[in-house]
A and B are shown apart, each in its own frame.
Chain A
Amino acid sequence: MSVWVYGEQKSELGLEGTITRKLEEDLYEVFIGPQHPGSGHMRIIVRIDGDIIVEADPDMGYVHRTMEKLSEGREWIKNVPLFERMAIHDACNVTVSYVMALERILGIEPPPRAKYLRTLLCEINRIAAHLYGFGIFGVFIGHSTMYMWSFADREVMVELAEKLTGARLTHSYPIPGGARRDMPQDFPQAARKAVRYFRRRLDEYRKIFLDNPVTRKRLEGVGIIPKKIAAELGVVGPVARASGIKYDARLAEPYDAYDEVEFEVPVYEEGDALARAWVKFEEIKQSLRIIEQAVDWLEKHPREAPIHERFWAKAPPLWKKVFEAEGRVKLLPLMANLKLPPGRAMARSETARGEIVYYVESDGKTTPYRVRIVSPSARNAIVFKYIAPGYKVMDLPTIYGSIDYFPPEADR
């Protein structure tokens, strides 16, 4: 009985990309999902020998919404709320790079204030998304306390995001040239309180979850991705960083305010589920640091409209009045039918789950000619196929939860 591992792919009936091998005797084929409560909107077909996974086939696409194609029929700015729906709890991170690509084609750079505001929301989203991931992870491995705790604490971050943008999840915050709102007066105080709360609270997370011997037993040594294989599979985000790969889009190509704020990118070398959980845990701490720095910077600098001159210089007086009273950046009617010059641009940003890449091509119309999105979960899904074999069936939820796979984002 050979275990089907990375590098030994065969297709006996000659159908590429599909496992067409006859099942060996004594193997069971188990369909985990899409109805299974622990599979998300996807299906994993596993073939097991006793309790050991021999093959695993991630079957994606249950929530495919043809987003790339839909975007071709919408005006540039209308795609922000569309792409946001890939990962609504990580809304700013997944859309900021699309907006950056548009800015590159337009040849404009947002003012520093807008950059800091976007970075602030990105980090709020990152913490919220990591807590979401922790919650799902916890409930996958039967640790429902973790689920309750992180979903409750996530509310703190959602509350901050709501203060900043006016919406809990689908903020539609970045727009070409800047951001849509400045922070309200009571925001810095609330943000600082939240940061202090989390610093203390994270220690309790460590005690009840990460250092809990029960959890540790289930995570340690499970789903090990060695560094070389991680690089070959092309995994991104916390999955790569838990395998010793020092890669982060904020590091490789600092965007927005990331080249001005100070933070660390935690890297672990063990490559197992425990290391992946620790990467996320440490990242939350770093995000807290960035939030603090961003809030300090924003408080110190004068409250100017966080949008590029091009969309503000000719704005009528009402625009300025609304901004002063409410901090709301009103949009010029030309935003609806914004014409981009012909050109192409690529932009990437680091979402909670890894790097998202947009390729945007304009042929000079009000709608995109082509938008190509490579989302982090789509790149990490490959882990199921090549890493899960060899582990027990009960380890599958651990692997799933630790890579924090998010089907709506992968399927687009």
Chain B
Amino acid sequence: MPAKPVVKRLPARRGLFAGFKGNVDAITIGLKYLVDPKRFTLIYPNEYIKLDPGYRGFIVLDPKKCIHCSSCARICPAAAMRMIKRMEEDPKTGKPKMKLWPVINYQRCIFCGYCVDVCPTEALYTVPYHDIVYENMAEMDWSLETFVKPPEHPTAKEGIPVKYIVDEEKGLVKVRAEEVEEK
């Protein structure tokens, strides 16, 4: 069943009082929302959105799973992920050995999630938050030590977690995160 084009006509402006009725309708709707407004502003940082687990937030490396394959750096469209060389002791032979490790530069990352999806061992994972502020650009270029642990999420310490849920009557409503999780 493919689409079909349908020629429509603009609603005619009927009669003497059409303008009057239009004005009354518009004002009535306006008044309705003046009395009963629909607000869902996030009072940030007193509140913060508790995002779904599937959200593509900051990316973190699990060093135990990484097999140093460089796939993540190769697929990165923004050249945010790159491989660095590290001399490490080989657990089997005890001799120093060169290893490649990925590091991420958040000045460049566009959060496309390609790296997470391409990693053959799921060594990369996303955390469901995105609101992290840096004082300078250099801090955004993460070192390997920073990359292996989830970044601190300061708003979660002070703010109240909320969620936005789709509602039939109001579009979006803001509710406390606990209320949604209970259901």
**Chain A residues proximal to chain B, CB less than 8 Å:** 74-75, 77-82, 145, 152-153, 155-156, 159-160, 162-163, 165-167, 170, 172, 180-181, 184, 190-191, 193-194, 196-197, 201, 204, 207-208, 211-214, 216, 244, 246, 248, 250-251, 254, 258-270, 274-275, 278, 282, 316, 318, 322, 326-333, 335-337
Interchain residue pairs with CB less than 8 A apart (30): A78-B75, A153-B171, A170-B111, A180-B113, A180-B117, A184-B54, A193-B168, A194-B171, A197-B170, A207-B29, A208-B30, A211-B25, A211-B26, A212-B23, A213-B23, A251-B2, A251-B5, A258-B2, A258-B3, A264-B4, A265-B5, A266-B5, A268-B10, A326-B53, A328-B54, A330-B117, A332-B118, A335-B118, A336-B71, A336-B118
Contacts of B84 in A (CB 8 A): none
Q: Which residues of B contact A214 (CB under 8 A)?
A: 23, 26
Q: Is there contact, CB below 8 Å, between B5 and A246?
A: yes
Whether the Cβ atoms of A211 and B3 lie closer than 8 Å is no
B69 at the interface (CB under 8 A from A): yes
Look across to chain B and name the residue whose beta carbon is closest to the beta carbon of A268: B8
Q: Is the CB of B120 within 8 A of A318?
A: yes
B1-57 interface with A by 8 A CB criterion? 1-11, 13, 18-19, 22-23, 25-26, 28-30, 38, 40, 52-56
Closest 10 pairs between A and B when the two form their complex, measured CB to CB: A78-B77, A336-B75, A246-B5, A166-B56, A333-B71, A336-B74, A213-B22, A212-B26, A190-B166, A207-B25
B interface size (C-beta, 8 A)? 54
Q: How far is the CA of A95 from the CA of B108 in the complex (A)?
A: 21
Residue contact B113 to A172, C-beta cutoff 8 Å: yes
A81 touches B112 (CB 8 A): yes
Given A172-B113, A259-B2, A318-B121, A266–B22 Cβ distance below 8 Å? no
- Answer whether residue B132 sits at the interface, using C-beta atoms and an 8 A cutoff: no
Other than the given A156-B166, A267-B7, 4 more pairs (CB < 8 A) read A166-B113, A172-B112, A208-B30, A265-B5
CB of B23 to closest CB in A, whole Å: 6
Q: Which residues on the A side are within 8 Å of B117 (C-beta)? A: 180, 328-331
Q: Does B172 sit at the interface, judged by CB under 8 A? A: yes
What sequence of 0s and 1s flags, for each residue 50-73 of chain B, a beta carbon within 8 Å of any chain A beta carbon? Answer: 001111100000000000010100
- B118 and chain A: residue at smallest CB distance: A331
- Give every chain B residue within 8 A of A216 (Cβ-Cβ): 13, 22
Q: Check B98 for interface membership: any CB of A closer than 8 A.
A: no
How many A-B Cβ pairs are below 8 Å?
Answer: 180
Q: Which residue of B lies closest to A337 (CB)?
A: B74
How far is it, in angstroms, between the C-alpha of A246 and the C-alpha of B2 when the chains are bound? Answer: 14
CB proximity of B7 to chain A, nearest CB, Å: 5
> Known contacts being A282-B8, A331-B118, is A193 close to B22, with CB within 8 Å?
no
Instruction: Find the A residue at minimum CB distance from B52.
Output: A163
**A204 with B29, Cβ < 8 A, contacts A152-B38, A212-B22, A258-B3 known:** yes
Pick the contact of B77: A74, A190, A196 (CB < 8 A): A74
Q: Is B106 an interface position by the 8 A CB rule? A: no
> B110: CB under 8 A from chain A?
yes
Whether A81 pairs with B171 at a CB distance below 8 angstroms is no
**Nearest Cβ in chain A — how far from B14, in angstroms?**
11
A residues near B170, Cβ cutoff 8 Å = 197
B40 touches A152 (CB 8 A): yes
Cβ distance B112 to chain A, nearest Cβ, rounded Å: 5
Task: Tell whether, in the assembled complex, residue B5 and residue A267 are in contact, meaning their CB atoms are under 8 Å apart.
Answer: yes
Is B169 part of the contact surface with A, judged by Cβ < 8 Å? yes
Q: Are A196 and B112 in contact (CB under 8 A)?
A: no
Residues of B within 8 A of A213 (CB): 18-19, 22-23, 26
Chain A residues within an 8 Å CB radius of B77:
74, 77-82
- Docked pose: A331 CA to B124 CA in angstroms: 13
Query: By the criterion CB–CB under 8 Å, are B25 and A197 in contact?
Result: no
Interface pair B122/A167, CB less than 8 Å apart: no
Q: Report the minimum CB–CB distance from B25 to chain A (whole Å).
A: 4
Per the bound structure, the CA–CA distance linking A244 and B8 in Å amounts to 9
- Tell whether B78 is near chain A: CB-to-CB under 8 Å: yes
Our pick among B3, B118, B167 for the contact of A254 (Cβ within 8 Å) is: B3
- A334-B183 Cα distance, complex, nearest whole Å: 42
Give the Cβ gap from A369 to chain B, nearest Cβ, in Å: 19
CA distance A199 to B2 in the complex (A): 23
Contacts A156-B172, A194-B166, A270-B10 given; does A331 touch B3 at CB 8 Å: no
Q: Are A167 and B56 in contact (CB under 8 A)?
A: yes
**Is the Cβ of A211 less than 8 Å from the Cβ of B110?**
no
Question: Which residues of chain B in 96-148 are interfacial with respect to chain A, using CB atoms and an 8 Å cutoff?
Answer: 110-114, 117-118, 120-122, 126
Give the distance in Å from the alpha carbon of A191 to the alpha carbon of B167 in the complex.
Answer: 10
Bound-state Cα–Cα, A46 to B120, Å: 57
Q: Nearest chain A CB to B164's CB is how many angstroms away?
A: 6
CA of A380 to CA of B90, assembled, Å? 63
